[in-house]
Amino acid sequence: SPMERPLERPLERPWERIVVLTGAGISRESGLETFRDGDGLWSRYAIEDVCTPHAFHRDPLLVDRFYNDRRAELWRVRPNDAHLALARLEHAARAGEWDGEILIVTQNIDDLHERAGSRNVVHMHGELLRVRCTACGATPDWQENCLPQTPCPICHRPALRPDVVWFGEIPLHMERIQAALDRCDRFVSIGTSGTVYPAAGFVAQVRDHADTLDINLEAPAVPTAFERSMVGAATRMVPRWVDEVLAG
Ligand code: APR
């Protein structure tokens, strides 16, 4: 605390706690499709056919193919400058070059944040590269043909499903996310349409105690939702914002 510090040392910059919420738009320029843009996934698939518990019960093969197609896409793409800029900010914190901490709360199920070098990442909608056993709860790495009859590699019971949160299900890690939102100084939303809850409600929860910024190709639907918005491609805007943060 300042009382313990010898006066001649300058006060460091205040410790900053940043929560970054990302959506499909941050991975768009890597080549992954979003959901609700013109050519998005929901223009080619019906949510109720591939993204609900009932869909998996009714036609597990179709659901398995939907996720296998998205995994095949994921293996063909790389993190982009937006993912890399966020990883640079986390690295600066670990290296003591920036007095702060960053937590990425992502709605995305791709692993591009991790491949860019970010480690403080929470996947609230699960992960494309994992499966989940509904019998023992294990979340092993994905394997070929994750179908209900596929035996779990841990408990060997036929109870596997994609480790993805479907519509109507509870997002993951919400306690940790809520705690981070309650104590953050800055909240930045990148590449999300802000149409799916609970993520869409985060900005309203933090506005009383954090600076809020939206980075998106389009201006926010509700102009007053965020104090500030940077309108443009994530690969241009996110590095610019990270440079601002690091410049203090
Ligand atoms: N740079 C910045 N923003 C972009 C870019 C880009 N290059 N390209 C697209 N966007 C923005 C779009 O303007 C849009 O606001 O990304 C957003 C994508 O919105 P959605 O397709 O709705 O994706 P997302 O918000 O992540 O969806 C949330 O809905 O379908 C469910 O579970 C799924 O996690 C997903 C959730």
ipTM computed for the complex: 0.99
Binding site annotation covers 194? no
What does the pLDDT read at residue 2?
A: 52
Binding site annotation covers 152? yes
Give the residue from 193, 187, 188, 191 showing the smallest Cα distance to 235: 191
Please state, in angstroms and rounded to a whole number, the distance separating the CA atoms of residues 105 and 91. Answer: 17
What does the pLDDT read at residue 146?
A: 66
Pocket lining for ligand 1, CB < 6 angstroms: 23-25, 28-29, 34-37, 40, 107, 125, 191-193, 195-196, 216-218, 233-234
| Identified catalytic residue from 125, 156, 173, 209 | 125
- The string of pLDDT tens digits covering residues 135-180 is 999 999 987 666 767 889 999 999 899 999 999 999 999 999 999 9
Binding site annotation covers 133? yes
How far, in Å, from the CA of 152 to the mean position of ligand 1?
33
SS3 186: strand
For the chain, strand residue ranges (E) read 16-22, 100-106, 121-123, 126-133, 160-164, 186-190, 211-216, 228-231
How far, in Å, from the CA of 27 to the mean position of ligand 1?
9
Give 121's strand partners: 104
- Answer whether residue 127 shows pLDDT above 80: yes
The mean pLDDT value for 84-96 works out to 96
DSSP state of 19: E
Q: In this structure, which residue's CA is closest to atom 36 in ligand 1?
A: 196
Q: In this structure, which residue's CA is closest to atom 19 in ligand 1?
A: 193
Is 125 an active-site residue?
yes
What does the pLDDT read at residue 3?
A: 56
What does the pLDDT read at residue 1?
A: 54
- State pTM to two decimals: 0.94
- Answer whether residue 63 shows pLDDT above 90: yes
Q: Which of 33, 41, 193, 240 to mutate to test the pocket of ligand 1 (most atoms within 8 A of CB)?
A: 193
How far, in Å, from the CA of 243 to the mean position of ligand 1?
24
How far, in Å, from the CA of 167 to the mean position of ligand 1?
16
